[in-house]
Amino acid sequence: MKTETTPKMTVLHAPVGVRSIVSSLVAFFIVASSVTFLLDRGQEAQVQMAVEHGRQEMQVKLEAGLQEPAMRGTTDAGDAGEECNWSRGRWVYDNMSRPLYSGLKMRIFNGSLISFKALEYNATIDFYWSPLLVESNSDNPIIHRVEYRIIRADRIERHASVWRDADIIVFNSYLWWRKQKDDMRMKVMYGSFEDGDARLDEMEMIDGFEIALKKLTEWLGENIDKNKTRIFFAGSSPTHSWASNWGGEDSNKCLNETEPIYKIGYKAATTDYSLMAKAKSYFKTLEPKGMHVQILNITELSDYRKDGHPTVFRRQFVPLTKEQIANPASYADCTHWCLPGVPDVWNEFLYGYLMYK
Ligand SMILES: *[C@@H]1O[C@H](CO)[C@@H](O)[C@H](O)[C@H]1NC(C)=O
Ligand SMILES: *[C@@H]1O[C@H](CO)[C@@H](O)[C@H](O)[C@H]1NC(C)=O
Ligand SMILES: *[C@@H]1O[C@H](CO)[C@@H](O)[C@H](O)[C@H]1NC(C)=O
Ligand SMILES: *[C@@H]1O[C@H](CO)[C@@H](O)[C@H](O)[C@H]1NC(C)=O
Ligand SMILES: *[C@@H]1O[C@H](CO)[C@@H](O)[C@H](O)[C@H]1NC(C)=O
Ligand SMILES: *[C@@H]1O[C@H](CO)[C@@H](O)[C@H](O)[C@H]1NC(C)=O
Ligand SMILES: *[C@@H]1O[C@H](CO)[C@@H](O)[C@H](O)[C@H]1NC(C)=O
């Protein structure tokens, strides 16, 4: 257990599902480098959605205005041995569930760590910012490079020492490796300035990802107690920046979208599937050691939710001007998700893994 109680600690409002998991596990639960935040969507029409998912039924109610959702998960008994296929399901309206949490009450950072302490359950849920997994020039959670990224090929310990004792670790890094432009490349640093042997290489994003995965899997293999810690890795979170993908106007991006895509099997053109395929191949190398990294394949179910992004209502360090708000092509955020919203359903699936598998 971590025992940090300082005036600067953050208390994240934990999704109910996760809370009740930790109550039974008395766990130290860490989410590394996740990318889910935001709210503030203004007073739009109420959107109430749920996922119907084969034998599992996950329900979430989203209110785009003040956004007080409710979640309810039900699972039929008798399918314990069967892997739930997250791609087989559809979003349905749910006007029954009542809100189970109200979003972002207190938020205090300690460097890269945001902690939520559930005292009544003796549990800690931490969010730890290390977006490129290994050490990088993007490690500052507030001021980080977005375009010019440099990773350190063989340095992970500063981050990993924070994860080491966790009972459950959930990694989430995909978006940071996706090419946002065709010519986007990753810089990789070997050696160090301190030792005078620093060397910088430049390579394709996926090759940089491979270097980070190699270091991560080596570290996990050597440091994680497989009898104690469960490891998850979030899959590709899709973006909705090209409205022509679903028959809209590209200049609007996902602004004013109020319904999911209903076309079964819809796939966002911007998702890079090669990254998670690479991740899977590295996680396989841990299997002979008896370690399993469970991928949370949220891609397809999130692909449908073009209406789930904060667009121009995203909270900004400097609020957008009227002119910027009127220019969704440049200023609508169709990458991050509103909370409460789609990521709550990712948590429901995580809950399913923790409770039933
Ligand atoms: C809380 O958890 C820690 C670590 O597992 C344990 O040492 C401690 O006894 C627990 N405290 C209570 C009140 O259960
Ligand atoms: C996730 O599921 C989709 C099908 O919806 C599949 O195409 C993709 O390869 C899966 N990704 C991983 C990492 O398993
Ligand atoms: C899950 O369902 C999708 C869509 O029906 C299918 O393409 C995929 O192969 C399935 N995955 C598994 C592991 O069964
Ligand atoms: C929920 O929606 C269904 C279908 O639209 C409707 O029949 C029902 O009356 C609604 N229930 C409530 C409580 O609004
Ligand atoms: C912040 O976390 C570090 C460990 O990463 C700890 O040493 C330090 O005491 C914490 N600071 C505060 C103000 O809690
Ligand atoms: C993990 O559990 C297995 C089976 O119970 C046991 O043989 C092994 O010694 C345990 N390993 C550790 C590091 O505790
Ligand atoms: C989006 O909706 C707002 C409010 O209804 C409207 O004023 C605006 O013109 C719409 N923008 C686009 C690009 O459709």
Q: Is residue 208 part of a domain?
A: no
CA distances, 287 to each of 36, 160, 162, 280 (Å): 29, 20, 23, 11
pLDDT at 171: 96
pLDDT at 159: 95
- Contact between 265 and 205 (Cβ < 8 Å): no
- Contact between 202 and 185 (Cβ < 8 Å): yes
DSSP 320: P
- Contact between 179 and 173 (Cβ < 8 Å): no
Amino acid at 124: T
pLDDT at 16: 29
* CA–CA gap between residue 129 and residue 111 (Å, rounded): 9
- The residue whose C-alpha atom lies closest to atom 7 belonging to ligand 3 is 87
Q: Is residue 105 part of a domain?
A: yes
Instruction: Assign 41 to helix, strand or coil.
Output: coil
Distance 84 CA to ligand 3 centre (A): 10
pLDDT at 300: 93
Check if 244 has its Cβ closer than 6 Å to any atom of ligand 5.
no
- Residues 6 or more apart in contact with residue 266 via CB below 8 angstroms: 246, 303, 304
Residue 273 sits in which domain range? 16-135+157-178+216-356
Backbone angles phi, psi at 343, to 5 degrees: -60, -20
Give me the sheet containing 50-53, strands edge to edge: 71-75, 56-60, 50-53, 90-92
- Contact between 211 and 187 (Cβ < 8 Å): no
Check if 82 has its Cβ closer than 6 Å to any atom of ligand 6.
no
Distance 181 CA to ligand 7 centre (A): 28
* CA–CA gap between residue 114 and residue 124 (Å, rounded): 10
Q: Is residue 6 part of a domain?
A: no
pLDDT at 269: 85
* CA–CA gap between residue 182 and residue 22 (Å, rounded): 42
Amino acid at 142: I
pLDDT at 193: 77
Average pLDDT for runs of 10 along the chain of length 357:
27 29 37 36 36 39 30 36 71 74 64 84 88 94 82 94 93 93 93 86 97 97 95 96 94 96 89 96 97 95 95 90 95 92 90 85
* CA–CA gap between residue 16 and residue 35 (Å, rounded): 19
**What total of structural domains would you count in the chain?**
1
- Ligand 3 residue neighbourhood (C-beta within 6 Å): 85, 87-88
Structure-block tokens of residue 176: 């940071």
Q: Is residue 192 part of a domain?
A: no
Q: Is residue 198 part of a domain?
A: no
Q: Is residue 80 part of a domain?
A: yes
* CA–CA gap between residue 17 and residue 357 (Å, rounded): 15
Q: Is residue 8 part of a domain?
A: no
* 129: Cα separation from own chain's centroid: 11
Q: Is residue 199 part of a domain?
A: no
Compute, in degrees rounded to 10, the torsion defined by CA atoms 6, 10, 11, 12. -160
